[in-house]
Chain A
Amino acid sequence: MSWSVLDEEGFSRCCRLLVQQSQSLRDGWSWEPGQGSAEGYLRKTTLRTAAFTSRPEREPEGSGAAPEQHTAPGRAEEPSQSDLAAPAASGDADDLTGAEDDGADEDDWVCRAPAESSSRVLQYEYHVLYSCSYSVPVLYFRAFTLEGRSLSLDEVWSCVPPQYRARLQQSPWNTITQQEHPLLGQPFFLVHPCRTDELMRPVMQAAQQQLRWVNYVVTWLSMVGPLVGLEMPLSYAALSPQSPTATAAEQEPSEA
């Protein structure tokens, strides 16, 4: 069993620390307890200016299976090298913290606009839950226009930065899908967790070799968040406790 596995207790510990740090940074993360159980989730809402391809009707023809619906939209429009503030994707552990921008304000973060799109203010709601099946955190989110209409999967895709989109389109269902929120029972989008462990293992191992404690949830969010417009300011890394009570080695899974 890999020591880098995050158990449920480790998850809530990471979340508690993140919320503490968020309070001093005032960037809006809170812990929401689940109904009648010990489980809960991290929550944050934010306004974001985004240019997206508006498509209010999913099925204007009513014929049901509109074939383009299950591929990501806009794959034709090639991303011109963009001016995005989002960090470049990298599986290299060394780049993971370095790639973070200077804590860019979300409001400065703008989706690449396809020609026919319009710039809108959107409300994004992010939830971080623990998946006991994969022993990893999972990012759920949903997005609304200011009129309260929820964005479709296509519209959410059109807000993914182009440099990520090209890569994710190889296998769109492994990345962003619509699924039921396991605690609320409502439709949310999520970034699929089945690759998270693979992504995080080198980071956690590198940290352990350097006898350095890393907040799993913060580090993971800083990698996965930018895909869907969520930035983790670099200050989270700076605020990390140097000698925390919880060490990486303690993150052993407790077998239920």
Chain B
Amino acid sequence: MADDKDVLRDVWFGRIPTCFTLHQDEVTEREAEPFYLLLPRVSYLTLVTDKVKKHFLKVMKAEDVEEMWFEYEGTPLKWHYPIGVLFDLHASNTALPWSITVHFKDFPERDLLHCPSNSVIEAHFMSSIKEADALKHKSQVINDMQKKDHKQLWMGLQNDKFDQFWAMNRKLMEYPTEEGGFRYIPFRIYQTMSDRPFIQKLFRPVSSEGHAHTLGDLLKEMYPAAIPHDDEVKRLQVVIHGIEPLLDTPLQWLSEHLSHPDNFLHICVIPAPTD
């Protein structure tokens, strides 16, 4: 059971100051001013950028406008990753505000999923929650919920209603006390250094000898290079929600408190700053 409510709130209300700029190749009728927004870390780019779209459409002709997409320093931003994951992965250790470029043409079909409407985001979000519950509880909790309960999770995220979301999400965070945690921890380890977008495997919160697995145990098995040796300069950072949790933090606790609303623990492994 999640009992550290302050942590849940801090995670939920995490914001990233962002500056949206229209790409120079877009055709406008007059100059497009940049647009500033505080982006919720736990939401999705295409869910919280209606205002950005409206802002730029004011200076564009309808025929020059196709599906909106975002890019940061040449990398198309995958809307289906939570915003905080995109920032940690691509823009950690850079100056704020985060500078995102907006496009309305040349949609990169080979890199990005289409997002024609919020129902696509909802479907993606619910499918992540379902997958997480398949790992945590063999889908039993999510299947026992009613359609309106599923809707409550989505509406909570969409409308930024912490209490509404957590009133339902707490059920997805329960587990039998005697088992000491979920069946498996829903996690993804992202890296920018490989074509493979993320690592996702089965990993239990408790070892076969009965002691709690830590973040370090998980990395040791999935991504050993992320753990620095004693006498070595740290080359990689392990980042969750913009912070570097201690490697001896129990994984079950992280899963309950630092998971995104999609119920996955998203872990970014990025190059350490060299200064």
Q: Complex Cα distance A55/B130, Å?
A: 32
Complex Cα gap A65–B116 (Å): 5
- The distance in angstroms between the C-alpha atoms of A65 and B202, with both chains bound, is 37
CB of B159 closer than 8 Å to a CB of A: no
Q: Is the CB of A177 within 8 A of B123?
A: yes
Instruction: State the majority secondary structure of interface residues on B.
Output: loop
A187 in the interface (beta carbon within 8 A) = yes
Q: Contacts of A238 on B, CB cut-off 8 Å? A: none
Smallest beta-carbon distance A129→chain B, Å:
11
Q: Which of B67, B104, B202 contacts A58 (CB 8 A)?
A: B67
Is B195 engaged at the interface, CB distance under 8 Å to the other chain? yes
Q: Chain B 41-80 against A: per-residue CB contact (8 Å), 1 yes, 0 no?
A: 0000000000001000100001111111000000000101
Q: Please give, as numbers and ranges, the residues of chain B lying within 8 Å of A50 by CB-CB distance.
A: none
Q: Give complex CA distance A58, B124 in Å.
A: 19
- Chain A residues, Cβ within 8 Å of B140: none
Looking at the assembled complex, report how far the CB atom of A67 sits from the nearest CB atom of chain B, in whole angstroms: 7
**Binary flags per residue of A61-85, CB closer than 8 Å to B gives 1, else 0:** 1101111011000000000000000
Segment touching B, from A9-17, A157-165, A178-186, A225-233: A178-186
Smallest CB-CB separation from A185: which chain B residue? B197
Is the Cβ of B196 less than 8 Å from the Cβ of A187?
no
Known: A180-B80, A187-B110. A58 touches B196 (CB 8 A): no
CB of A182 within 8 A of CB of B202, answer no
Q: In whole angstroms, what is the CA distance A170 to B15 when docked?
A: 38
Could you say which of B109, B113, B116, B130 contacts A179, with CB atoms under 8 Å apart? B113
- Whether, in the assembled complex, A115 has its beta carbon less than 8 Å from a beta carbon of chain B, the answer is no
Q: Which residue of A37, A177, A179, A256 is within 8 Å of B203 (Cβ)?
A: A256
14 examples of A-B residue contacts, CB within 8 angstroms: A37-B196, A58-B67, A59-B66, A64-B68, A64-B117, A152-B114, A153-B114, A173-B119, A179-B124, A180-B80, A185-B197, A186-B110, A187-B110, A194-B134
Question: CB distance B66 to A65 under 8 Å?
Answer: no
Is A147 close to B, CB under 8 A? no
A160-201 contact mask (Cβ, 8 Å, vs B): 1 or 0: 000000000000010001111011111100001010000000
A134 sits at the interface (CB 8 A): yes
**Interface residue SS majority, chain A:** loop
Is A133 an interface residue when CB atoms closer than 8 A count as contact?
yes
Contact status B67-A59, CB under 8 Å: yes
Chain B interfacial residues counted at CB < 8 A: 44
Q: A152-B114, A178-B114, A185-B197 are in contact. List 13 more A-B contacts (CB 8 A).
A: A35-B195, A36-B194, A36-B196, A64-B117, A133-B200, A177-B124, A178-B113, A179-B113, A180-B113, A182-B200, A184-B196, A185-B195, A186-B110
Cβ of B131 < 8 Å from any Cβ of A? yes
A150 within 8 A of B: yes
* B198 at interface by CB-CB < 8 Å: yes
Residues on B with beta carbons closer than 8 Å to the beta carbon of A92: none
Question: CA separation between A186 and B184, bound complex, in Å?
Answer: 26
Chain A residues within CB distance 8 Å of chain B:
34-37, 57-59, 61-62, 64-67, 69-70, 132-134, 150, 152-153, 173, 177-180, 182-187, 192, 194, 255-256
Bound-complex Cα distance A255 to B207 (A): 12
Q: What is the bound-complex CA distance between A66 and B115, given in angstroms?
A: 10
CA distance A9 to B204 in the complex (A): 19
* Contact between chains at A187 and B113 (CB < 8 Å): yes
With A59-B66, A64-B117, A256-B203: A134-B131 Cβ-Cβ less than 8 Å:
yes
Interface: B1 (CB within 8 A): no
Whole-angstrom CA separation of A37 from B202 in the bound complex: 15
Contact with A180, one of B78, B119, B204 (Cβ below 8 angstroms):
B78
How far in angstroms is the closest Cβ of chain B from A170?
Answer: 14
- B112 is an interface residue with CB less than 8 A from chain A: yes
From A36, A62, A192, B127 is in contact (CB under 8 Å) with A192
Residues of B near A36 (CB, < 8 A) are: 194, 196
If A133-B134, A177-B127, A256-B201 touch, does A65 touch B195 (CB 8 Å cutoff)?
no
Residue of B nearest to A37 (CB): B196
